[in-house]
């Protein structure tokens, strides 16, 4: 839906170029501003520069001027469309929110921790491994065990055998934990198994290279130190500590074991919160450098006079996606603390708009008068609203997309952080952010290609 909306915007732009007799560079500038897409403008300017370097007799207008004229309209248009769609379609926000919460709860389940009393005779004397395997319960972890009549609590191995009235601490997804409790016996109210006298629970941060990109099975913390990892927290997600799980820099491990053993493991894992608070400039600027190299690679297409490139926006975007997906490349890792992320984001936006304003502002008034700026605003409104209206009709009426997600899709397809901020406040939910992030990378790349292809094909 997002990509189709991008292509529709490109089609409307082409029709304006054909019938309104505007220069293609001005039309692409109008499009970039009307859909609030800065990377497309950057790609267009780069393509125009390459064409001019090869064909020095050609002269082009600066698309940044048309961009500057229609950009405010683009921001206002997306926000007004969200409000109008809600009112015209008579959206009940409470009902839509209830539906999205219900859907999300089915898709993602948080891990739970429950105590279980072993009462089933059929598993007396069986190892934890065979008990889990025989009942197809490989997605739970037994983090603690206390035998009946004993006050000693320890972290069991898979070979540990279950005895009558043992108390277990079970960690896993709700359905799996409930299934295990039904098989083993019943839920327990024993408080002694939770005492931190001998066995304690602690969260450890992965900050050393010796643990980064290692699987939990490779670290083998249980056999070496007697520690059991029950959960791993990454980017706000809670993951079950399966042996095959690869650790990334900045992960948080939830471990159970003796205090002395945990101190030894901290030396291997790192657990330096101070280090996580410090921005890693090598990763930050190294990732940007890789992205710039990717964005500078020319993609040759037969019959086109100049190659197309991802540019300095989509290149770093793809590099960031790859680095984040695999947790890093060499010494470059994917963890950047939130403070550094927000600072870099706001600084980058401020610097960009300052540069565009300084460059486009010199001839802004003259261009507005010369090219009938009000007519350009009208053309920009066509590029803004026609694809949006079609997107809302198809998305809500035919595809039955939840309005919270549709609002995020609208903002993400137009790559507009201002509209996203409005959505989060207007709808009082972070659901639009998830939809925004889902489509943003792909539509950004498509907007870059559409802007370049329009210029290359129409000049």
Evaluate whether 255 touches 202 at the Cβ level (below 8 Å).
Answer: yes
Among the listed residues 385, 457, 455, 414, the one whose alpha carbon sits nearest the alpha carbon of residue 6: 414
Q: What is the pLDDT of residue 446?
A: 92
Q: What is the pLDDT of residue 161?
A: 92
Quick: pLDDT tens for 385-436. Answer: 999 999 999 999 999 999 999 999 999 999 888 888 888 888 888 788 888 9
174-178, 202-206, 337-341: least confidently modelled range: 337-341
87 has a pLDDT exceeding 90: yes
Query: Cα dist. 238→20, 136, 197, 205 in Å?
Result: 54, 22, 26, 14
Stated pTM of the model: 0.70
Split at pLDDT 50, 70, 90, the class of 196 is low
179 CB-side CA count, 13 A: 14
Quick: pLDDT tens for 439-455. Answer: 988 999 899 999 999 99
Dihedral sign (CA 291, 293, 295, 300): negative
Evaluate whether 44 touches 341 at the Cβ level (below 8 Å).
Answer: no
Split at pLDDT 50, 70, 90, the class of 56 is confident
Percent with pLDDT over 70 in the chain: 96
Q: What is the pLDDT of residue 109?
A: 64
* Mean pLDDT over each residue of the chain, to the nearest integer: 86
Query: Cα dist. 297→56, 291, 308 in Å?
Result: 23, 10, 9
Quick: pLDDT tens for 271-326. Answer: 888 888 877 788 888 888 999 999 888 888 776 777 888 877 788 888 988 888 88
Of 124 and 430, the structure prediction assigns the larger pLDDT to 124
Percent with pLDDT over 90 in the chain: 32
Split at pLDDT 50, 70, 90, the class of 231 is confident
**416/411 Cα distance (integer angstroms):** 5
Q: What is the pLDDT of residue 15?
A: 95
Q: What is the pLDDT of residue 220?
A: 84
Split at pLDDT 50, 70, 90, the class of 234 is confident
Q: What is the 3-state secondary structure (H, E, C) of the chain?
A: CHHHHHHHHHHHHHHHHHHHCCCHHHHHHHHHHHCCCHHHHHHHHHHHHHHHHHCCCCCCCCHHHHHHHHHHHHHHHHHHHHHHHHHHCCCCHHHHHHHHHHHHHHHCCCCEEEEEEECCHHHCCCEHHHHHHHCCCCCEEEEEEECCCCCCCECCCCCCECCCCCEEEEEECHHHHHHHHHHHEEECCCCHHHCCCCEEEEEEEECCCCCCCCEHHHHCHHHHHCCEEEEEEECCEEEECCCCCECCCCCEEEEEEEHHHHHHHHHHHECCHHHHHCCCHHHHHHHHHHHHHHHHCCECCCCCCCCECCHHHHHHHHHHHHHHHHCEECCEECCCCHHHHHHHHHHHHHHHHHHHHHHHHCCHHHHHHHCCHHHHHHHHHHHHHHHHHHHHHHHHHHCCCCHHHHHHHHHHHCCCHHHHHHHHHHCCCCHHHHHHHHHHHHHHHHHHHHHHHHHHHHC
Rounded to a whole number of angstroms, the CA Rg of the chain reads 28
Q: Which of 157-161, 338-342, 382-386 has the highest mean pLDDT?
A: 382-386
112-116, 299-303, 332-336: least confidently modelled range: 299-303
Among the listed residues 365, 386, 380, 438, the one whose alpha carbon sits nearest the alpha carbon of residue 408: 438
Q: What is the pLDDT of residue 256?
A: 87
Token pair belonging to 135: 């009942």
Query: Cα dist. 59→25, 68, 359 in Å?
Result: 10, 20, 17
**282/300 Cα distance (integer angstroms):** 32
98 has a pLDDT exceeding 80: yes
Mean pLDDT of 21-41: 90
Of 337 and 130, the structure prediction assigns the larger pLDDT to 130
Q: What is the pLDDT of residue 139?
A: 83
Evaluate whether 67 touches 32 at the Cβ level (below 8 Å).
Answer: yes
458 has a pLDDT exceeding 90: no
Evaluate whether 225 touches 260 at the Cβ level (below 8 Å).
Answer: no
Residues paired with 252 in a beta bridge:
205, 233
Mean pLDDT of 44-69: 83
Q: What is the pLDDT of residue 106?
A: 62
**114/159 Cα distance (integer angstroms):** 21
For 316, other C-beta atoms within 10 Å of its C-beta total 21
Q: What is the pLDDT of residue 344?
A: 79
């Amino acid at each position: 839906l997002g990509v189709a909306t991008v292509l529709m915007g490109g089609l409307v732009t082409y029709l304006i170029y054909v019938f309104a007799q505007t220069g293609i560079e001005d039309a692409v500038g109008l499009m970039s501003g009307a859909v609030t897409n800065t990377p497309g403008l950057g790609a267009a300017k780069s393509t125009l520069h390459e064409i001019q370097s090869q064909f020095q007799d050609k002269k082009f207008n600066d698309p940044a001027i048309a961009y500057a004229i229609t950009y405010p309209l683009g921001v206002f248009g997306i926000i007004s469309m969200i409000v109008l769609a809600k009112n015209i379609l008579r959206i009940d926000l409470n009902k839509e929110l209830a539906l999205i919460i219900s859907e999300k709860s089915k898709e993602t389940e948080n891990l739970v921790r429950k105590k279980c009393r072993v009462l089933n005779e059929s598993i007396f004397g069986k190892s934890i491994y065979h008990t889990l395997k025989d009942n197809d319960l490989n997605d739970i972890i037994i983090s603690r065990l206390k035998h009946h009549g004993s006050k000693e609590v320890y972290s069991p191995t898979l070979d540990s055998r279950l005895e009558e009235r043992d108390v277990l601490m079970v960690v896993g997804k709700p359905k799996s934990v409930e299934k295990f409790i039904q098989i083993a016996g019943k839920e327990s109210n024993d408080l002694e198994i939770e005492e931190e006298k001998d066995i304690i629970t602690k969260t450890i941060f992965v900050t050393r290279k010796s643990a980064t990109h290692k699987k939990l099975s490779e670290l083998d913390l249980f056999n070496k130190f007697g520690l059991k990892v029950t959960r791993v927290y990454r980017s706000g997600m809670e993951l079950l500590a399966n042996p095959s799980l690869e650790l990334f820099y900045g992960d948080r491990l939830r471990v159970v074991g003796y205090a002395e053993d945990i101190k030894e493991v901290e030396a291997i894992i790192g657990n330096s919160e101070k280090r996580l608070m410090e921005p890693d400039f090598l990763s930050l600027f190294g990732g940007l450098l890789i992205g710039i190299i990717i964005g500078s690679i020319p993609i040759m297409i037969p019959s086109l006079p100049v190659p197309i490139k991802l540019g300095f926006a989509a290149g770093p975007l793809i590099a960031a996606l790859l680095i984040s997906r695999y947790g890093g490349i060499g010494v470059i890792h994917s963890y950047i603390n939130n403070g550094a992320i927000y600072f870099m984001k706001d600084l980058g936006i401020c610097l960009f708009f300052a540069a565009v304003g300084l460059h486009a502002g010199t001839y802004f008034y003259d261009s507005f008068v010369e090219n009938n700026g009000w007519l350009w605003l009208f053309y920009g409104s066509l590029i803004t609203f026609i694809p949006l209206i079609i997107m809302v009709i198809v998305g809500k009426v035919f595809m039955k997309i939840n309005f919270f997600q549709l609002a995020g899709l609208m903002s993400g397809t137009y790559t507009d952080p201002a509209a996203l901020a409005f959505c989060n406040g207007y709808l009082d939910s972070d659901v639009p952010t998830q939809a925004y992030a889902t489509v943003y990378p792909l539509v950004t790349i498509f907007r870059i290609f559409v802007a370049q292809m329009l210029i290359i094909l129409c000049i």
